[in-house]
Amino acid sequence: MRCSACGTDNEAGRKFCAECGAPLRVTCTACGSANAPGAKFCGECGASLTAAPAPVPVPAAERRLVTVLFADLVGFTSHAEARDPEDVRELLSRYFELCRTLIDRYGGTVEKFIGDAVMAVWGAPVAMEDDIERAVRAALDLAASVDALGHELGVPDLRARAGILTGEAAVTVGAVGEGMVAGDLVNTASRIQAVAEPGGVLVGDPTKRATEAAVVYEDAGVRELKGKAEPVQLWRAVRVIGGRGGALRSTGLESPFVGRDRELRVIKELFHASSGESKAHLVSVMAVAGTGKSRLSWEFFKYIDGLAEDVRWHRGRCLPYGEGVTYWALAEMVRTRAAIAEGEDPDAQLAKLHAAVEESIADPEERRFVEPRLAHLLGLEAAAPADRENLFSAWRLFYERLADEMPTVMVFEDMEWADASLLDFIEYLVDWSKNHPLFVIVLARPDLAERRLTWGAGKRAFTSLYLEPLSIGDMDQLLAGLVPGLPDELRAAIRARAEGVPLYAVETVRMLLDRGLLVSRGSTYEPAGRIGPLEVPETLHALIAARLDGLAPDERRIVQDAAVLGNTFTLDALAKLSGLSPGDLEPALAQLVRKEVLRLQDDPLSPERGQYGFLQDLMRRVAYDMSRSTSARPAILRRPRSTRATTRWSRSWPPTTSPRATRIRRPTTRPRSAAGRPRRSSGPASGPGPWRRPWRRSAISSRRPSSSAIPSSRPGCTSRRA
Ligand SMILES: Nc1ncnc2c1ncn2[C@@H]1O[C@H](COP(=O)(O)OP(=O)(O)OP(=O)(O)O)[C@@H](O)[C@H]1O
Ligand SMILES: [Mg+2]
């Protein structure tokens, strides 16, 4: 064999030249065959002999700060033994799907499933801001969702528990899924999960420190963990109390959120369906004052702000009075999007609006169409064409362009004050923008239904939620969270007073604290002395008085007369007291039932069947107080006291303090129209209508199958980008 380098003949079978040491054959890196020196391609497999050999991948690990979550199902093994294998499979697959969906929504990566346990990681393969907080939010959401899943699948005691730990771990670069993260951190996180109670989320010190602005924690003690030489301090995550990084968290007394898990879950799922399918959806949340509409939207905001996905959030309130209030809520949303401050100079406002339009709309022609019409909405451009069709289409275009970039939420609050034109716009927006991820929430007291009987009727992408009063158990939970350690007797009295309306409970507690009747002792509260019969807090008195003032004069008179008769009364008794005929009274009573001031007992089994009653006793008491001036009092009340039927309850209820409110939630002024004229309270409805209070109304009715307390300081508009 001749050497190609020096020309020397070598013996057959030699690998290197005996003269110069050059290789006498080239081994193919693909198939291992020997080839003559100088050959460009392998004679055996055709692979190139000249290309540089492909580098052999060597797994590279690096140390990174990650957060590891372990979660599993509690008592699942014993449950599985007693169940049909098909049911068990269904439950497990729903649970795995839930884990994947939630971990994904919060920006984590599922590392692996081990039996019914899931391990997820934040901070690898890609680190993002707020990884740690999102891991805790995901764990809390998972625990609550497994609870709901158990109820749905007929396993009410199904619970998940989770352990979370943040720290340095060896991360395999480029790996996704199993084997991505290793080290002591992983073992410790799994040990933490093993000591969590069913439904609980435990975290270590570093996780708690990084997230305590947004999450409330309880001390879970220093615990021995299997395999750990030293005991570890653990914390129980209780609830999320703010937006990202604790943004906008309440500085005052905020009760824990209770009793509305199902409604919140429905809203979340509808939102994900809307953003996932790029479809508009309208959710209407109705309930009497103080039942928790704003609180529900605040809980939804905290959720949205904690997700990995960027979302545009807008909020606007309707005003009950004043000039130019027709589209106030919408204008408020545009103002906050453009960062326009109250009372800013009009030129500065126009400049900011211009910048916001430039940023949101790429097409110059569209910008020219939209900008003057938004200026008109803000009252900045009187000369802009004011025909409604063009205005609506320009405003719609603005929101469509925002939604094209990222899912967009619009929350309209206090819609019981909304003008018909704003209701028209919302319906128009949801109809015309149906192929854009616009998620519109309308919060209103039942008076909205009176203003627009057909609200939502016939709409495909419409869901209606009705918030019923909270149950006794929920109210107890609310009070226990608000003022821990409250004596049973006092808690029962507050609960009885509140009748399921959270605002009433919160305001009564606030009054007791303000007056020093309830004092804090460490982490619990105690009465400072004997607490007599509970008064109506001034704030509530003002709220209810405003509601009564909002009724038509004849309705108010009837309510005041009825208040004299007690909590329930018959039509005949009211007719005698008021001097009106039953025929005159009935339409007005029907209207009051529709407005959720009164209820009609229509249960065929009830001994009170056919009687009317006050929906809230507090309303009756305030109505009675308001009628105490002689002129407003029914004639019968001017008779000697002994002949009245009312002394029974008026003694047990001390007169309220002056109705001057310390914190007036609603002005007692009569509502005014956009033109500033007092708005007429609509009279009794003609026609049949659903005027009875729906005793067994289903809380949720959706026309579209689901496929998939914000105080004024709370968010107007926000949006984020990764
Ligand atoms: N589900 C709930 N759990 C705990 N607290 C609640 C709940 N719902 C409402 N609250 C509390 O009750 C108070 C009144 O609630 P909220 O302001 O949401 O009522 P609303 O229905 O919006 O009233 P309005 O009709 O006056 O706008 C707030 O302090 C709120 O935090
Ligand atoms: Mg509200």
**CA separation for the pair 516, 536 (Å, rounded):** 16
N-term to C-term CA, the chain = 66
In ligand 1, the atom with minimum distance to the C-alpha of 257 is: 3
Q: What angle do CA 134, 708, 107 make, to 5 degrees?
A: 20
CA dihedral 173, 179, 183, 188 (to 10 degrees): 130
CA of 439 relative to ligand 1 center, distance in Å: 22
How far away, in angstroms, is 547 Cα from ligand 2 center? 14
Question: CA-to-CA distance for 576 and 564, rounded, in angstroms?
Answer: 12
Distance 105 CA to ligand 2 centre (A): 28
What type of residue sits at position 521? R
Q: Going by DSSP bridges, is the β-strand pair 438-444/281-286 parallel, antiparallel, or unpaired?
A: parallel
Coil, helix or strand at residue 373? helix
Window from 5-19, 410-424, 647-661, 692-706 with minimum mean pLDDT:
647-661
Measure CA 296 to chain center: 5
**What's the CA gap between 237 and 232, in Å, rounded?**
16
Does the pLDDT value for residue 693 go beyond 50?
A: no
Ligand having the closest approach to the CA of 503: 1
Nearest C-alpha to atom 13 of ligand 1 is from which residue? 503
Q: Which ligand is nearest to the CA of 665?
A: 1
Give the C-alpha separation, 522 to 535, whole Å: 26
Give the mean pLDDT of 10-36: 74
Distances (CA, A) of 501 to 199, 292, 557: 27, 8, 25
- For residue 128, give every residue at least 6 positions away whose Cβ sits within 8 Å of its Cβ, in sequence order, or none: 107, 122, 134, 308, 722
Query: Which residue, 672, 678, 668, 682, is CA-closest to 591?
Result: 682
Residue 380: how many other CB atoms lie within 10 Å: 16
Helix, strand or coil, per DSSP, at residue 172: strand
Give residue 605's pLDDT.
65
Name which residue leads in pLDDT, 224 or 699. Answer: 224
Can you tell me which atom of ligand 1 is nearest the CA of 297?
18
Give me ligand 1 centre to Cα 257, in Å.
Answer: 9
If you measure from the C-alpha of residue 463 to the centroid of ligand 2, how many angstroms do you get, rounded to a whole number?
Answer: 19
Give yes or no for residue 25 having a pLDDT over 80. Answer: no
Pocket test for ligand 1, best of 262, 263, 295 (most atoms within 8 A of CB): 295
Q: Is the pLDDT of residue 27 over 80?
A: no
Q: Is 208:235 a contact under the CB 8 Å cutoff?
A: yes
112: Cα separation from own chain's centroid: 29
Confidence of residue 323 (pLDDT cuts 50, 70, 90): low
Q: What is the mean pLDDT of residues 615-643?
A: 60
Tokens of 718: 């926000």
Q: How many CA atoms lie within 13 A of 15 on its CB side?
A: 3
Q: Give the residue, by CA position, lying nearest to ligand 1 atom 17.
A: 709
Q: Which of 503, 507, 665 has most ligand 1 atoms within 8 Å of CB, for mutation?
A: 503
pLDDT tens profile 352-394? 999 999 999 999 999 999 999 999 999 987 665 668 999 999 9
Average pLDDT over residues 607-618: 81
List, as one string, the DSSP characters of 404-461: HHS-EEEEEE-GGG--HHHHHHHHHHHHHTTTS-EEEEEEE-THHHHH-TTTTTT-SS
Atom of ligand 1 nearest to the CA of 288: 25
Residue 718 CA to ligand 2 center (angstroms) comes to 19
Ligand 2 center–CA 247 separation, angstroms:
20
Which ligand is nearest the CA of 546, by number? 1
Which residues are CB-contacts of 530 (< 8 A; sequence separation ≥ 6)?
none
Q: By three-state DSSP, how is residue 519 classified?
A: strand
What separation in Å is there between the alpha carbon of 201 and the centre of ligand 2? Answer: 31
pTM across the whole model: 0.76
What would the mean pLDDT of 114-126 be, rounded to a whole number?
90
Top mutation candidate among 284, 288, 294, 318 for ligand 1, by most atoms within 8 Å of CB: 294
Specify the 3-state DSSP secondary structure of 367: helix
Segment 255-287, tens digit of pLDDT: 899 999 999 999 999 999 999 999 999 999 999
Q: Which residues line ligand 1 (CB under 6 A)?
A: 254-255, 257-260, 287, 289-295, 414, 445, 478, 502-503, 506, 665, 709
Tell me how far apart the alpha carbons of residues 333 and 342 are, in angstroms, rounded to a whole number.
Answer: 13
User: What pLDDT is stored for residue 708 in this prediction?
Assistant: 30
Residue 303: closest CA among 211, 241, 255, 216: 241
